[in-house]
Amino acid sequence: MLQKIVCVALPGMAPFEFGVICEVFGIDRSDSNGPSFDFHVTAAEPGLIRTKLGFDIVVHEDLSAAADADLIAIPAYQAGVDIHPEILRVIREAEARGAWVLSVCSGAFVLGAAGILDGRRSTTHWMYTDDLARAFPLTRVDPDVLFVEDGNVVTGAGTAAGIDAALHIVRKELGAAAANNIARRMVVPPQRDGGQSQYVQPPVTDCPSDSFAAITEWMLSHLEHELTVDQLARKNLMSPRTFARRFRAELGTTPTAWLNRQRLLRAQQLLEETDWSLESVASDTGFGAASVMRHHFLKVLQTTPTAYRRTFGARQVG
């Protein structure tokens, strides 16, 4: 069970990425039926910790709080700053006992220095993926994802992708409803599709950022229907080819893949919060048949709908 969270404050850490960890795990959301964690901010040497932007924060706890943590979170930090050996020890011990270890952005370099990325896939901000691969050649760096889960180690890509990575762990441990509750309070999507490569190129100038807002909202309200690219293109007053190309450019995935992901998220919610039959859930979410829904669960979540309901159905949070 995900309960005790320890965020390790590093000299030269980035305030936003540190704040992401605090925002996701440090706020008591029980007033809205959301999760509440035993959250700690620690440091190898408590006291003033200078951030990357030049201001200090005061940390009162030392690393002893990490000994029984369910998750150790490492924020981004300024490259070149030496990492205290006790921090590396804490990370290695957490990984060895099966606790979650999460890094945000350049925090992956700390995990690499601790040796726990060896033999694992990993990621970091697209600007630093080549550096991470050179510094730690035993890890397979994926530059085109928002986060990577390999065993109990999760590495997040740049900045806001830390939210995706943190919510992924919440979803894995507590279910989709808990992750959705946190995302709703943060006013962010509970789960984004596509990889970070969509952010590398400049935005498409003839495709404004909200050009697909209406059609995706309509798609979400009609998940139970068969929705073809031709039908969606007509509704959005585009040719099918142009619609598919622009949809992928803006959302980082194909219309079909996006639909399947939304259907999966809806199915997870129904399996957690209702006692509907698998066929009813499959019909309501647009999968059509329970066997088709099962295929998508196995492909994406590596579990079956029945096993998912058994694990998360009793944990109705939000």
Print the SS3 string covering the chain: CCCEEEEECCCCECHHHHHHHHHHHCCCCHHHCCCCCEEEEECCCCEEEECCCCCEEEECECHHHHHHCCEEEECCECCCCCCCHHHHHHHHHHHHCCCEEEEEHHHHHHHHHHCCCCCCEECCCCCCHHHHHHHCCCCEECCCCCEEEECCEEEECCCCHHHHHHHHHHHHHHCHHHHHHHHHHHCCCCCCCCCHHHHCCCCCCCCCCCCCHHHHHHHHCCCCCCCCHHHHHHHCCCCHHHHHHHHHHHHCCCHHHHHHHHHHHHHHHHHHHCCCCHHHHHHHHCCCCHHHHHHHHHHHHCCCHHHHHHHHCCCCCC
Cα–Cα dist 36/292, whole Å = 35
Which phi and psi (to 5°) does residue 249 adopt? -65, -35
Q: What is the C-alpha separation between 40 and 59, in angstroms, rounded?
A: 10
Which one, of 109, 141, 136, 99, lies nearest residue 122 by Cα? 141
Marked catalytic residue, from 7, 22, 105, 207: 105
The answer to whether 24 touches 163, Cβ cutoff 8 Å, is yes
Report whether 177 contacts 318 (CB < 8 A): yes
105 a catalytic residue: yes
Residues identified as active-site: 105
